[in-house]
Chain A
Amino acid sequence: MTKNNGDTTIATVTTTSATPTETPALEAVLRQHAEQQYAEELAELAKHDDRQRPPNWQLSPWAVRTYLLGGRLPNGFEVSPKYIGNARLIEIAVATLATDRALLLYGVPGTAKSWVSEHIAAAVTGDSTMMIQGTAGTDESAIRYGWNYARLLVEGPSPAALVVSPMMRAMQEGKIARIEELTRIPAEVQDTLITILSEKTLPVPELGMEVQARKGFNVIATANNRDKGVNELSSALMRRFNTVVLPLPATIEEEIDIVDRRVASLGRALELPAEKPALEEIRRVVTVFRELRDGLTADGKTKVKSPSGTLSTAEAISVMTNGLTMAAYYGDGVLHADDLAAGITGAIIKDPVQDRVVWLEYLQTVVKERDGWKDLYRACHEVL
């Protein structure tokens, strides 16, 4: 039938994460799941949540909103914001799930689509691990089910020989299945979702049975609208999703805030010895990224060319962490322009010819002239 590798891997992931709270070696994990990292917040929210919950939800829609947008609970407990930006978008997303519709988070790369998807799943069902990674090689068995061939040969078709996909498991348990990068999945594989979303059932003809989704089952998918090699979604599939477009941060202050928070939490996770970067450095990186992205300087006076990359907030975050690492291990522990230069240049120059011209032009016309940016200008020139 299909290759077995993928299925077993998924199966392994499934078993390890089935009981997240009991895992003793949690501290050693590089990146914790949302429901692990924010277990305390989720517990506090649940404690104070006395409002109506849709079937099989761990929290009420209002509490889910508070979890994502942050807020203060009656007992003074502070819930940290997970998504900074338009609160209405989160409300629409949560309301979508509450009406039993599948949710499609759409947008350019690096706009926190997967992040939001993971956190919503964690808040709604307490489990964000039922995830299918969409790739060009994702086949039907990753979405429906596969077979354990050894068993199949020995015992013949039986429920025990079935390798259950995260989607099937979510249906059985009435939880939320996540599909990452839906547009990367080949169109014919995407089509398998149509029945799941409209009939809420997954037939297994080989065993003469079907899995009917329990209440609470839903799907959150994320998709890119600007990338290479995307498979456009058919309108039949599109129709079954409510689409929420996550925008790039609206203002520079918002973007700085996002970068600052994420850099701080990443720095903690990676145990970087360097000092937290000054807001000023973050502002510079964010400004450079925004100006190049918008094709216009912040004062609105000079037009600049835009490079081919997306220069998302996520990239700004990785440039900052990269700089922090450089400063920690090779510098004096304080973030300077030369620690950032290589990261910025690498993020901007994705096409060695055209983007180089764009970056050089920007350095010459904008960075060079700006007060207090001399160090950045010199550092970037050295790297080029």
Chain B
Amino acid sequence: MTLHIFGVRHHGPGCARALRDALEELQPDIVLVEGPPDAHGVLPLLLNAAMKPPVALLIYVPEQPRRAVYYPFTHFSPEWQALHYAFRKQIPARFMDLPQTIQLAREPEQPTPPDGSPENTPIPDDSLTPLPRTGEGPGVGDLPAAAGSAQPHAEPNADVPSDISPLPQTREEPGMGDDPLAMLAEAAGYTDHELWWEREIEQRRDATGLFEGILEAMTTLRGDPTPKNEEEAQREAHMRQTIRAAIKEGFQRIAVVCGAWHSPVLASLDNPDDAKVARADAATLKGLKQVKVEATWIPWTNSRLSYRSGYGAGIASPGWYTHLWTAPDRATIRWTAHAAHLLREQGLDASSASVIEAVRLAEALAAMGELPMPGMNELHEAIQTVLCNGNDTPMQLIREKLEIGETMGEVPAETPIVPLQRDLEAQAKRLRLKQSPEIVTLKLDLRNETDRARSQLLHRLRLLGVEWGKPQHIYGSVKGTFHENWELKWEVEFVVALIEQNIWGNTVESAANGFARDQAEKADELPALTALLNQVMLAGLPDATEHLLTRVEALAAVSADVRHLMDALPPLAEVARYGDVRATKEEQAKRIMPVIAALFARVLVGLPGACASLDDDAAAEMVGSIDNVQRAISDILNSDDMRADWLPVLRHLVDMETVHGLVRGRCCRLLLEQHALDENELQRLARLALSPVVPADQATAWVEGVLRGSGLLLLHQDGLWRALDAWLVDLTPETFVALLPLLRRAFADFETPARRQMGEKVAKLHTAPTGALGFEKPGQGANDPFASLDHERAAKVLPVLAQILGVAPVKSGAAGDSGGDA
């Protein structure tokens, strides 16, 4: 019987390749892998054609899905290769780590926090962190997930600021075992451990003696084989027991794949005086508390393999490792060519000649650094220097798309149910919502606690892209912010969406939270952010809300587009108003007001500049944004202070010559509605805006700006009508015809009675004494087409006309006038 220990690092192409070759050579009859035995049931899925790494094994407590651990695997994980080998050869493969039934039970039972509490994390189980300081050690010490500490939420870490979880008392694990590679790397004169490992192991093509070397190095490093804590003692004891069992069963060539750190204590089991240790191990493992767990596979992504995502045993550049794993040869050239392709897709120059030069430079750099082949750093320096002209910006792209990569794994359809689904089912049951494919209408009153929880659940699901409920617009008598109508319809595809979204968290709340935070990071425009903020508020996710507010503040400070700021105001204002109804935490509502105030202040400063020299389309958009601000401050917030600052800006815009007529007209209108403009002033402005020297299209735009909206307010503005009338009369027939569509548009929104009243108004204008206001224009009488009309005779025709047209007869001659105007 022979025992072969393969100490590995969890993700690394060099290790994986070496292991694969070593196994082929050894032809073992059993493979033991450091991993959770709880997952044995789902292991055969590994060979399923639909299984596409990166994927993760997920072990969770069904009653409390947020207590879980992930074991990510990808093609170049040595464990994955070992398991694959075993299944392909149809030899037994076993996980030998301490079962999660025990590891997860170790945590004291915690009450499930009520929904809305802040301990949700995007990856609720960064237990993946074997090392106290994440991001530094390449994680040889322990298997990815289970790792040194199996708490569901292990290390609060710098990369995932959301991980504010107060629950898990992080166990400090001092000592050099934390990062044995750091010691080796330092001994070799490297400051960057990752770099050292990559150069020594991952880029190695000839792996003869690699594992013997690792075992020897680790034996020396560990010196004293005593485990560093009780947990590690139990885990190593269990590993040894599993190996002993295999020996007992009579397997002849046993291959053991484990984290390099554990390799020394597993190596000496085939000697005869192991019995004493075996007894001690049995004692260690006796009577440990257990909890029921379930295991399944979920899809994983490359970005979550990188330790930037907070995965402690992660690697810096999954994309690069994938490349090293998949590239059959000439990895350097292939990588550079990929980068050039990427740059070309973005419309940047990247000629083949430059690729050649970049490869040459990378090789020269490797030579200077005395490396056998260029690593990723050399390649990236060369690419930046040659292909990007020293510019750092395109390198971001290469880092995101190539170095990390955007690959997402897939799992077969037969994969068991994920905790997110389970959580949803539990919540739906509790809230008495039935997952039925029929359309059900649901009316919610948010003052009621159950209804509020239902609303939050539906909103959270919507955030996750599971549109079980569609919010309906509320018509009619039911007013107020505390009502919500939903239309529920369950679709089968939602299950798939839930499996995909499980990556963000194991409960609906934590997943929505994690997803929203991720979206917030990705969004780089204010309107998108504030819209998201609105959704998050509705979904009752305080943690994501806080994060979003910070993002909004940061973006607002640098945003150059005033319209973005303006459009961001209404959703923010809505959010500020929810405070009371949705039992949102009060601090949070308070937190929003300063953000709004800062945004508003920037709008006030930037608006006049942003309104200058707009074309027709831009002016129309600007009017929309101005209306948004108006709505936010008067309709939603109803703040007198803000209005006091806002009106002078509008007034200023009205007087600015360079501003588009539509915007100025709209400002006039808004001022008028808020009683900030009296009739005489309006008349003066109207005459200025409609005076003959103003280009006709600008004047028309002004008219459109003023008239848009309700017509009733305008009926009493005699001055406006006179100015309008005089302007119309002065137009040449050609211009009038040309402007007619625009004018029609201006009047189109009015309801028929209002339009008729306006017609009457204009008719009256001419009977009223006009000289008093000094309005009479020279020659106007002659131009007025109605001046020579005999009203009495015209009135006689009207009843007949009315009959022909099929409308009720009108009293005066107004009908004719209104027809001419509208």
Interface residues as binary, A291-327 with B (CB distance below 8 Å gives 1, 0 otherwise) = 0000000000000000000000000000000000000
Q: Closest CB of chain A to B343's CB: distance in Å?
A: 13
Answer whether residue A228 sits at the interface, using C-beta atoms and an 8 A cutoff. Answer: no
What's the nearest-Cβ distance from chain B to residue A300, in Å?
A: 14
18 contacts between A and B (CB under 8 A): A61-B364, A65-B368, A91-B368, A91-B369, A95-B365, A96-B361, A99-B357, A99-B360, A99-B364, A104-B390, A238-B389, A239-B353, A239-B354, A242-B357, A242-B361, A242-B385, A243-B390, A245-B391
Do A244 and B360 touch (CB < 8 A)?
no
Are A235 and B349 within 8 A (Cβ)? yes
Whether B385 and A96, one on each chain, are in contact in the complex, defined by CB atoms closer than 8 angstroms, is yes
Give A81-108 as 1s and 0s: 1 = Cβ < 8 Å from B's Cβ atoms.
Answer: 0000000100110111011010010100
Contact residue among B364, B369, B390 (Cβ-Cβ distance under 8 Å from A98) = B364
A302 to B389, CA, bound (A): 34
Give B405 Cβ to nearest chain A Cβ, in Å. Answer: 24
Q: How far is the CA of A239 from the CA of B348 in the complex (A)?
A: 12
Instruction: Please indicate which of the listed interface residues B351, B353, B357, B385 has the most CB atoms of chain A within 10 Å of its own CB.
Output: B385
A115 cross-chain contacts in B, Cβ below 8 A: none
Select one of B357, B367, B381, B389 contacting A101, CB under 8 A: B357
In the bound complex, CA of A92 to CA of B349 (Å): 21
Q: Is the CB of A95 within 8 A of B368?
A: yes
A238 to B390, CA, bound (A): 10
Contact yes or no, B381 A88, CB < 8 A: yes
Give CA–CA (A99, B392) in the complex, Å: 22
Chain B residues near A373: list those with CB within 8 A. Answer: none
Q: How far is the CA of A238 from the CA of B391 in the complex (A)?
A: 12
A169 to B390, CA, bound (A): 29
Which single member of B357, B367, B390 contacts A244 (CB below 8 Å)?
Answer: B390
Chain B nearest CB, measured from A76 CB (Å): 21
Binding site for B on A (CB under 8 A): 61-62, 65, 88, 91-92, 94-96, 98-99, 101, 104, 106, 235, 238-239, 241-245
B contact residues around A62 at 8 Å (CB): 368
Interface of A is mostly: helix
**B386 contacts the other chain (CB 8 A):** yes
Taking CB atoms, residues of chain A closer than 8 Å to B354 are: 239
Considering only residues 346-391 of chain B, those with a C-beta below 8 Å from chain A are: 349, 351, 353-354, 357, 360-361, 363-365, 367-369, 381-382, 385-386, 388-391
Contacts A104-B390, A239-B351, A243-B386 aside, 9 further interface pairs with beta carbons under 8 A come to A92-B365, A95-B365, A96-B364, A98-B364, A99-B357, A99-B363, A241-B389, A243-B389, A244-B385
Q: In terms of DSSP, what is the predominant structure of the interface of chain B?
A: helix
**Residues of A contacting B353 in the complex (Cβ-Cβ under 8 angstroms):** 239
The interface residues of chain A lying within 8 Å CB-to-CB of B382 are 92
Chain A residues, CB < 8 A from B388: 243
Q: Which 9 A-B pairs have the closest CB atoms?
A: A243-B390, A95-B364, A245-B390, A243-B389, A99-B360, A99-B364, A242-B385, A95-B365, A98-B364
CB A89 to nearest CB in B, in angstroms, measures 9
**What is the CA–CA distance of A57 and B560 in the complex, to the nearest angstrom?**
51
Q: How far is the CA of A180 from the CA of B388 in the complex (A)?
A: 22
Could you tell me the distance between the alpha carbons of A65 and B349 in the complex, rounded to whole angstroms? 31
Residue total for B at the interface (Cβ-Cβ under 8 A): 22
Q: Is the CB of A95 within 8 A of B390?
A: no
Interfacial chain A residues near B369, Cβ < 8 Å: 91
Q: Are A239 and B349 in contact (CB-based, < 8 A)?
A: yes
A contact residues around B392 at 8 Å (CB): 245
Complex Cα distance, B368 from A2, in Å, reads 44
B357-A61 in contact (CB<8A): no
Least CB separation from B365: chain A residue = A95
**Who on chain B is nearest to A65 by CB?**
B368
Q: Closest residue of chain A to B362, judged by CB?
A: A95
Nearest neighbor of B377 in chain A, beta-carbon distance:
A88
What's the Cα separation between A189 and B381 when bound, in Å? Answer: 30
Q: How far is the CA of A316 from the CA of B367 in the complex (A)?
A: 37
* Distance from B191 Cβ to chain A, minimum over Cβ atoms (Å): 12
- Least Cβ–Cβ distance between B376 and chain A, in angstroms: 13
Chain B residue at minimal CB-CB distance from A62 = B368
Beta-carbon nearest neighbor of A52 in chain B: B367
Shortest CB-to-CB span from A43 to chain B, Å, is 23
Give min CB distance, B393 to chain A, whole Å: 11
B72 to chain A, nearest CB (A): 31
Which residues on the A side are within 8 Å of B368 (C-beta)? Answer: 61-62, 65, 91, 94-95, 98
| Contact status B349-A91, CB under 8 Å | no
| A88 / chain B contacts, CB cutoff of 8 Å | 381
CB interface residues, B 385-437, toward A, < 8 Å = 385-386, 388-392
B381 touches A92 (CB 8 A): yes
Q: Which residue of B lies closest to A239 (CB)?
A: B354
| Best-buried of A61, A235, A239 by chain B (most CB within 10 Å) | A239
On chain A, the residues within 8 Å of B357 by CB distance are 99, 101, 242
Assembled-state Cα–Cα distance A241/B391 (Å): 13
Least distance between B396 CB and chain A CB atoms (Å): 15
Residues of A within 8 A of B381 (CB): 88, 92
Within the complex, the shortest CB–CB distance from A297 to chain B, in Å, comes to: 16
Contacts of B367 in A (CB 8 A): 95
Residues on A with C-beta less than 8 A from B349 are 235, 239
Determine if A92 and B385 form an interchain contact, defined as CB atoms under 8 angstroms apart: yes
* Residue in contact with A91 in the complex, picked from B363, B365, B389, B391, CB distance below 8 Å: B365
Residues of chain A contacted by B385 (CB below 8 angstroms): 92, 96, 242-244
Per the bound structure, the CA–CA distance linking A40 and B681 in Å amounts to 85
| Per-residue contact bits, chain B 297-330, to A (CB 8 Å; 1 contact, 0 not) | 0000000000000000000000000000000000
Collect the chain B residues with CB atoms within 8 Å of residue A245's CB.
390-392
Q: With a CB–CB cut-off of 8 A, which chain B residues contact A98?
A: 364, 368
Query: Are A242 and B364 in contact (CB-based, < 8 A)?
Result: no
Q: Which residues of A contact B386 (CB under 8 A)?
A: 101, 242-243
A88 and B390 CA atoms in complex are apart in Å by 13
A95 to chain B, nearest CB (A): 4
- Least CB distance, B49 to chain A, in whole angstroms: 45
Residue in chain B with minimal CB distance to A198: B353
Q: Select from chain B the residue with minimum beta-carbon distance to A61.
A: B368
Task: Using known A-B contacts A88-B381, A239-B353, A242-B385, determine if residue A106 contacts B361 with beta carbons closer than 8 Å.
Answer: no
